[in-house]
Amino acid sequence: VLARQLGIAALAIAAVILAMGVGLGREPMEMFMTGLSLAVAMVPEGLPAVVTITLALGASAMVRQKALARRLQAVETLGAASVICTDKTGTLTENRMTATRVWMSDAIYDVTGTGHDPAGHIASNGTRIRAADDPGLGRLLETAITCSHARLRHEEGHWVAIGEPTETALVTLAYKGWAQIPDPDDLVAEVPFSSDRKCMSVVARTGGAEAMFTKGAPAQVLERCSRIHAGGTARPLEGADRERIQEAYRAMAADGLRVLAFAWRPVVSEDHKEGELIFLGLAGLIDPPRPEVRAAVAQAQAAGIRIIMITGDSHVTAKAIAEGLGIELDRTLTGKELEAMEDAELEAALRGPVLFARTRPADKMRIIAALQRDNQIVAMTGDGVNDAPALKQADIGVSMGVRGTDVAKDASDLVLLDDNFATIVRAIGEGRRQFENVRKFVRYLLSSNAGEVIAIMANILLGGPLIFLATQILWMNLITDGITAVALGLEKSEPGNMKKPPRRKNEPILGINGLSLILLFGLYTGFSSLWIFTQLLPGGEAQARTAAFTAMVLFEKFSVFAFRSLREPCWRIGYLSNPLLLGALTLTILAQVAAVYWPPLQVLLHTVGLGPDVWILILTFALPILIVPELIKTGVFAARRMGAGRAVAGAGA
């Protein structure tokens, strides 16, 4: 867009210059060449290529950090993310469920072992218990393994889990209790799980008769129960029982456990309705947070990025996990509360630290829309088919590369190759680096072009011959500037890159500071090269033009050090920290020397050899470009350090 705008402006100004010159009586061909030179000088011809190359290299760097950008533009957008809406399971956590606790009306059981190895055991008060020893526990374990599509298989000396992590954890639990494994031929019917019902039921033959086995969210299972297994038998489920179950559920969830409830009943006359069930108990599953996520959360929040957890788990479990990871949190909202909210209420809630629990995939779209109305740039994670609309709606859709569906990946802008939240934060840091580097080389290129334009226009007003030929301008813009700009786009992140707030939505890449800098450098380089040109003009037009041309190239090469950082002096970021830039500078300066002394390039660019006195003159004007910005940035850095020191001293007092 910027290149197109510059192109339109260049053509308009060139046309005006042509008309003015002809109107003042100058030769039309001379003014045509002048207008052409001016148009060529105004447009940074290498800008689109440099931007594309830089973003492509940035995308390649992100792949090495386990993040695959499906669109180059996503690299830049990701760097502006102000909110990350993230799932819990598998992104913040390891997605390796393990059952650690079972609650029943008569006893509480601890479960040992981790992962999918059934070598652990179930114990109550230190005594190991198997399904055959405890009919109630046996029925709960039978429900857990029957009401599941997962299976365990022993292969080459280790156990392999097949199925969804929650279900494989329950099957492993049943194995630890030596529960009877159901015969697939005994399955009669199934009422599948849905995000609305939050439970599933299976009808199977057991002990010569049919029975319904149900598992799901505690509240949804409990409301389908009329009896409870207690004291070795089933009795009516009373209000006190319901309160005890709720207390047990809250206690387990507060420990960060994902809690599931289990119930069953005999089937009479093929009655497959989910009702009149016998409540069996609860199982608590732990999905440990990824060890690197807590540090990533702290880094994101230090960078001014808000993290909003959106999960289907209970609000108690979600809150415990969020607090354990250090996610800022003032309020927890459930899917039902979200549904009852007006848009204005939701927008107000989203301005503070908030967590969403018991949500549906459709809720994500409403949350995204509310954040975007508040001018937030939203990154949204998702892995399922139902997440695809939300991934498309978000500014940056982030899908899971390991467990994500193809539909989710196709709808996303970024694919996490390791399904890890920390990878999102690293990718945001890379996106910020890329945007800053694009901003640096755009300002660098435009400052170079500004110097050329100012020199040409001032020379026209003075009535002198062309200071630069069209071929010389193309040489500067495409050969010397283009190579240097690509190397500038490979600068490493500056100190504090992830300690400042995200940039504003639609923040201009130039801005007032950038335009001022471009104008300042343009004025100095333009008038300096013009002064050299006019001083040497009496000695011959070819020598004066070659000197001005060479001076402008060296000015542009020396100015690149000022654009490496707009805040930090080069000694802070390291003179040798970007070896490719040093290589590019060496190459382009040697190319310019060749342009001055090598006959084939002399013919192409209409140059002549320069004497030592001319080189000294050029370097006299070039050195301030290298020295003055460094002195200014060093002074600003020292002032910042002194200000920070006074602030610390004041706090200590």
Residues serving a catalytic function are: 87
How far apart, in Å, are the Cα atoms of 413 and each of 369, 374, 404? 18, 22, 13
Are β-strands 127-129 and 151-155 bridged in parallel, bridged antiparallel, or unpaired?
A: unpaired
Map residue 46 onto helix, strand or coil: coil
β-bridge mates for residue 227, sequence order? 236, 278
Q: Which two tokens stand for residue 224?
A: 């389908």
Q: What is the dihedral of CA 423, 428, 429, 432, to 10 degrees?
A: 160
Q: Which two tokens stand for residue 538?
A: 């009496």
Q: What is the dihedral of CA 201, 204, 208, 211, to 10 degrees?
A: 10
Separation of alpha carbons 108 and 128, rounded Å: 12
593: phi > 0 → left, psi -120 to 50 → alpha, else beta; which? alpha
Separation of alpha carbons 312 and 327, rounded Å: 17
Q: Which two tokens stand for residue 255?
A: 């420990």
Q: Which two tokens stand for residue 5?
A: 């705008």
Separation of alpha carbons 283 and 260, rounded Å: 5
How far apart, in Å, are the Cα atoms of 532 and each of 105, 307, 529, 545? 94, 57, 5, 9
Q: Are 432 and 76 in contact (CB under 8 A)?
A: no
Separation of alpha carbons 587 and 594, rounded Å: 10
β-bridge mates for residue 109, sequence order? 102
DSSP string spanning 454-506?
HHHHHHHHHTPPPSS-HHHHHIIIIIIHHHHHHHHTTPPPPTTTTSSPPPPTT
Q: Are 159 and 175 in contact (CB under 8 A)?
A: no
User: Residue 651, exposed/middle/buried by CB under 10 A (0-12, 13-18, 19+)?
Assistant: exposed
Which residue blocks in 149-229 are alpha helix, DSSP H? 165-176, 218-222
What number of other Cβ atoms are within 10 A of residue 155's Cβ? 7
Q: Which two tokens stand for residue 168?
A: 């494989």
Separation of alpha carbons 97 and 109, rounded Å: 17
User: What's the angle, vertex CA 104, arms to CA 98 and CA 108, rounded to 5?
Assistant: 65
Q: Are 212 and 267 in contact (CB under 8 A)?
A: yes
339: enclosing H helix or E strand: helix 335-340
Spatial CB neighbours of 339, under 8 Å, sequence gap ≥ 6: 363
Separation of alpha carbons 273 and 192, rounded Å: 13
